[in-house]
Structure 1
Amino acid sequence: MNHLLCGLAANVALPSELVDRLIAVADEEIAGSLAARPDLSHEQALALVAQVGESAGQLAYEGRLTAADIDPATQPYAALTLLDRRAGDPEWARLLVRDPLVRHRERLAACAGLPSDVVETLAADPDVRVVAELAFWTTPDRAAVLARHPHAEVRRSVAANEATPPGVLAALMTGEGLPPARWCLVCDREETPFVHPLECPLPDCDLLPGDSCDSSHESTVHETRQQALRNPATPTEAAAAFAGHPSIWLRRELAARPDLPPEVSGRLATDPHPGVRADLAGNPAIGAPLIRAMAADPDHEVRRGLAGNPHVPFDVLSCLAATTRIGSALLPAIAAASPRQVGELAESSNPEVRMLLAQRRDLPAAIRDALAADPDAKVVKSVAPHPGLSDARLRAMVGRHGVRVVAAVAANPDATPALLVDLTRHGPPVQKAFRAVARHRRATAPALLACLADREARQLAAGHPALPPPVIVELLTDTHWQVVEAAAANPALPPAVMWDLVPRP
């Protein structure tokens, strides 16, 4: 791969004439970068297809080609892309449904709005993968028909289709009212009974570890039930019947459903498996009383799930924060807190709670500044990227807490160029700070030059437009290809160098 030319192909400052020259010498990798250019003209897109036929699919996806530009016989992937976007010629579907490549027919089966005769042909395709793909995307009427398909893999896809009628989904979970499936992917390939080993010695085997069949297609039936339990169209009553099922995985799927009745939630809250309780803990379907009851659960992931529940009461959250590693992500309950609640959280005696509040980026100035002056480093680190903090406050944070907050301060969108330079000179150095500075829109040449010395920040700095042009040119010969590609894509690369680098056809 020519990383230099791939980078140039993505350079937003590349003149149109040089885009034409790159098209004339493009290979598949360069074509991928060119096809993603927002300024690529229709004429250039056609020229790129003529040079690299494989680019037609990406160009169709990017909206650079129309139906008039596509020959489905020679550019099937592009034709399928336009059909999927409902921008293709329906007649193409009648041609592609006979395509000898299964992956093309499978892609066609995922397209909406196909002619009815094409759907009929796909439903009778000799390869079950095509029929299963159709079952996943098809209409309610067709899904109801395919639910009776003799292959269990097709039924599994029907169970995942949100357009499948609720009554059909209920039947797929129990098997009642449906003829027994006759095949699955396991008994298609192996003598039954068979359990696929965890480490299969066959290099071309596509069965999953643990796939099994004893003539009842048990692993596929289990997956069908999993898909139906995930499906929001499955009736609540049918799903609730699995609260006592011996499969942990089915109970976990049930525990995550947003339509859980209170009596089922209560039963799952005492499930012996912590994974079931953890999935239930984060479910918005459970209310404050059950959250309070589960807050003393001995399992860490259960308590962590409760902390992420949008309905967790703040007094419970405070207790959870004291005993559970919640992390620093903005929690739904805190994101939805009212102004009054924000004020109360800011005054919490628990620094973990103040840290969680500090993740909000819309705090009133007074609360933001109070958190910036917090005595606890984790609170300060959490609020440091908040917009609106003054240079003086940001410098005071670093002065009080040092390496613990340097990277977070470097990520502040209002950090001044001078502060960014000082952060790159902090002793001891903080590697994450170099990366934050290299990404920063206000970084200047001195800061970026310092970032070049850091292995992980070097690539980011190489693509920053504030890097001095002579340095960018030097990086075009760097030993790391990511740095070369980033430098070549840098819009500050001198135009004269661009002209010298792009070969003539």
Structure 2
Amino acid sequence: MTPALLGLAANPALPPALVDRLIAAADEELAQELALRPDLSRTQVRRLAARSQAAAVGLAREGSLQPADTDPAVQPLAALALLDEGAGLPRWARHFASHPRAEHREKLAACPDLPPDVARTLADDPDPAVVAELGSWAPAHLAAELARHPHAQVRRAVAGNRSTPPDLLAALLTGEGLPPARSCRVCDQEDVPFVHTADCPRRDCALLPGDECDGSHRSAVHEIQWQALHNPATPAAAVARFADCPSALLRRLVAARGGLPQRVYSRLAGDQMPMVRAELARNPSTGEALIRQLAEDRGHDVQRSLAHHPHLPLDVLARLARSTRLGPVLLPRVAAATPAETAGLAAAADPTLRMLVALRRDLPDAVRDALACDPDAKVLKAIAPHPGLTEVQLLAMIGRHGPRVAGQVATNPGATAAVLEALTRPPAAVRKALREIARHPNSPVPALLACLDDPRARPVAAARPELPAGVVVGLLADEDPEVAAAAAANPALPADAMRALLP
């Protein structure tokens, strides 16, 4: 299917008669694009769903396909999508619960609000993948039952379920109080002991690198523990016991958990792996004493992570700004600064601190205007998108720093046509600015025409309905398929040009 036809399928100005012709000619790709249209009639929806299962699923997800227009025996995936959206019929759930295809039963198990008898049937399914899908969201009473399932895949799913009772989450994490799992995905298909290597030559192998089993289902147990540690419903006392476990991946999850005793965090602050300490550094539960200790930690990403701590003392932030490349990211502590702290950061001698506060988009007018006159280009880049800046202020930024601030000025929601047109002229014109100008709602036609000269801005500009119709028609033959598709999707495309594209 040509890019122009795919673009035409998305054109909001496409007449209904031409939509009908596209449906009649649609392959899978075109049908899926047409399914995204919000203006399809019920007749068009039925015809499109009949041409493509994938389109039927999309129409079901969007609420366009009705249960009365769906036969689960003919369109099983669409019927399952309707069940997943809460719009299917209860009898469909019973139909799929005993379906011979396990993938259909697995999709059903992921659907919400299943009738109790259907959930019961799925809980007893012989395929562990089906039961695992059910276990990932099952209500507490069913999750409690599935936590004792003999297959490790099911227990892994239950360990990630926030409805699983806390005592059973603790048991899944520690292995205490539950009978051992009897099987896993490794010993289901391999003689144990077995270790799956990353260079496995079998193309049909479904095992992951590192999967192993010696009868104790080692990699599966690790996955169960990972899920339980990631689950906020797992009791803190059970999580704390894993601060010294051999796996750095699991210790990292402990370091991310809130509400643990400070003594546990103190042990983790001395962990040999920088990724564990970096996770601890951003944890809101880490206290000030450890914050100051971690501020001296030169391990990979520790100080950068600490900068994202929401309760970071401002004096520590000032030190990190001098020693760490923080980048133009609005930090939680800066976003939560009081008016007095905000004014102090905006007047700081260090331009990095001024840049960090300039990233806020709710600054008082006086602070915003002061930062708009800052002599440092990185401060101006940070403040340039701030709402409320005037045309005079934005033009002054362009005059002082040109290409260095052009891309950010172009993102300002209040940038006027004069500002945007100025950004298309040397020396301010830079590719990043042109891409932003191409999508800015205030861009005048001359600026949009200038954007057509840039390869990356061209597809964005080609979709703008402000372009002259003749220009849009000319772009249909562009050698870049993205440009041709964007032009075909442009509502300014004349109707006769639309008809000429149809097969």
TM tier, smaller: over 0.9
Q: Is the 8 A contact 2:94 2:118 kept in 1?
A: yes
Query: In structure 2, what residue type is equivalent to 1:303?
Result: Q
Q: Is the 8 A contact 1:443 1:466 kept in 2?
A: no
TM-score by length of 2: 0.96
CA distance in 2, matches of 1:213, 1:468: 66
- Once the two structures are TM-superposed, the CA of residue 287 in structure 1 deviates from its matched residue by 3.0
Query: In structure 2, what residue type is equivalent to 1:231?
Result: N
Structure 2 unmatched ranges of 5 or more: none
- Once the two structures are TM-superposed, the CA of residue 196 in structure 1 deviates from its matched residue by 1.1
Query: In structure 2, what residue type is equivalent to 1:214?
Result: D
Partner of 1:291: 291
Q: Deviations over 1:8-39 (max 9, x none)?
A: 11112222332233222222222222221222
CA distance in 1, matches of 2:47, 2:176: 57
CA distance in 2, matches of 1:311, 1:106: 44
CA distance in 2, matches of 1:22, 1:77: 23
Partner of 2:42: 42
Partner of 1:113: 113
CA distance in 1, matches of 2:134, 2:85: 16
CA distance in 2, matches of 1:53, 1:382: 47
Q: Is the 8 A contact 2:275 2:300 kept in 1?
A: no
Partner of 1:239: 239
Q: Deviations over 1:242-291 (max 9, x none)?
A: 01111101100111112222221222122121111111111112233322
User: Against the structure 1 CA distance between its residues 327 and 300, is the aligned structure 2 distance closer, same or farther, given a 3 Å change threshold?
Assistant: farther
Instruction: Map 1:413-492 onto structure 2 (within 5 A).
Output: 413-427=413-427, 429-492=429-492
Partner of 1:272: 272
| Structure 1 position 345 matched with structure 2 position 369 | no
% same residue:
58
Query: In structure 2, what residue type is equivalent to 1:12?
Result: P
CA distance in 1, matches of 2:94, 2:17: 40
- Once the two structures are TM-superposed, the CA of residue 233 in structure 1 deviates from its matched residue by 0.8
Partner of 1:261: 261
- Once the two structures are TM-superposed, the CA of residue 429 in structure 1 deviates from its matched residue by 4.3
| Structure 1 position 209 matched with structure 2 position 214 | no
Partner of 1:16: 16
Query: In structure 2, what residue type is equivalent to 1:10?
Result: A
Query: In structure 1, what residue type is equivalent to 2:358?
Result: A
- Once the two structures are TM-superposed, the CA of residue 44 in structure 1 deviates from its matched residue by 2.4
Instruction: Map 1:324-339 onto structure 2 (within 5 A).
Output: 324-339=324-339
How well do the aligned residues superpose, as a CA RMSD in angstroms? 1.6
| Structure 1 position 162 matched with structure 2 position 162 | yes
CA distance in 2, matches of 1:289, 1:467: 60
Query: In structure 2, what residue type is equivalent to 1:84?
Result: D
CA distance in 1, matches of 2:485, 2:97: 41
CA distance in 2, matches of 1:180, 1:308: 41
CA distance in 1, matches of 2:15, 2:332: 46
| Structure 1 position 6 matched with structure 2 position 6 | yes
Partner of 1:320: 320
- Once the two structures are TM-superposed, the CA of residue 53 in structure 1 deviates from its matched residue by 4.2
| Structure 1 position 225 matched with structure 2 position 225 | yes
Partner of 1:51: 51
CA distance in 2, matches of 1:163, 1:199: 38
CA distance in 2, matches of 1:205, 1:53: 28
User: Against the structure 1 CA distance between its residues 381 and 78, is the aligned structure 2 distance closer, same or farther, given a 3 Å change threshold?
Assistant: same
Equivalent position SS for 2:243:
coil
Partner of 1:405: 405
CA distance in 2, matches of 1:387, 1:146: 53
Equivalent position SS for 2:312:
coil
CA distance in 2, matches of 1:322, 1:206: 48
Q: Deviations over 1:138-163 (max 9, x none)?
A: 11111111111111111111111111
- Once the two structures are TM-superposed, the CA of residue 327 in structure 1 deviates from its matched residue by 1.5
Q: Is the 8 A contact 2:109 2:122 kept in 1?
A: yes
98-107 or 154-163, larger mean C-alpha shift:
98-107
Query: In structure 2, what residue type is equivalent to 1:253?
Result: L
Structure 1 unmatched ranges of 5 or more: none
Partner of 2:365: 365
Q: Deviations over 1:182-227 (max 9, x none)?
A: 1111111222111111122111112111111111111110111010
CA distance in 1, matches of 2:38, 2:336: 37
Q: Is the 8 A contact 2:160 2:228 kept in 1?
A: yes
Q: Deviations over 1:108-158 (max 9, x none)?
A: 111122122322222222222111111112111111111111111111111
Query: In structure 1, what residue type is equivalent to 2:155?
Result: R
CA distance in 1, matches of 2:295, 2:456: 41
Query: In structure 1, what residue type is equivalent to 2:479?
Result: T
Equivalent position SS for 1:137:
coil
Partner of 1:192: 192
Equivalent position SS for 1:185:
coil
Q: Is the 8 A contact 2:358 2:382 kept in 1?
A: yes
CA distance in 2, matches of 1:381, 1:129: 51
Q: Is the 8 A contact 1:49 1:55 kept in 2?
A: yes
CA distance in 1, matches of 2:300, 2:183: 42
Equivalent position SS for 1:143:
helix
CA distance in 2, matches of 1:294, 1:50: 61
- Once the two structures are TM-superposed, the CA of residue 428 in structure 1 deviates from its matched residue by 7.1
CA distance in 1, matches of 2:488, 2:295: 54
Query: In structure 2, what residue type is equivalent to 1:67?
Result: P
CA distance in 2, matches of 1:8, 1:59: 18
Kindly report structure 1 stretches of 4+ aligned residues shifted beyond 6 Å: none
Partner of 1:71: 71
Q: Is the 8 A contact 2:398 2:428 kept in 1?
A: no
Q: Is the 8 A contact 1:197 1:209 kept in 2?
A: yes
CA distance in 2, matches of 1:219, 1:11: 50
Q: Is the 8 A contact 2:422 2:428 kept in 1?
A: no
Q: Is the 8 A contact 1:300 1:324 kept in 2?
A: no
TM-score by length of 1: 0.96
Query: In structure 2, what residue type is equivalent to 1:432?
Result: K
CA distance in 1, matches of 2:449, 2:131: 57
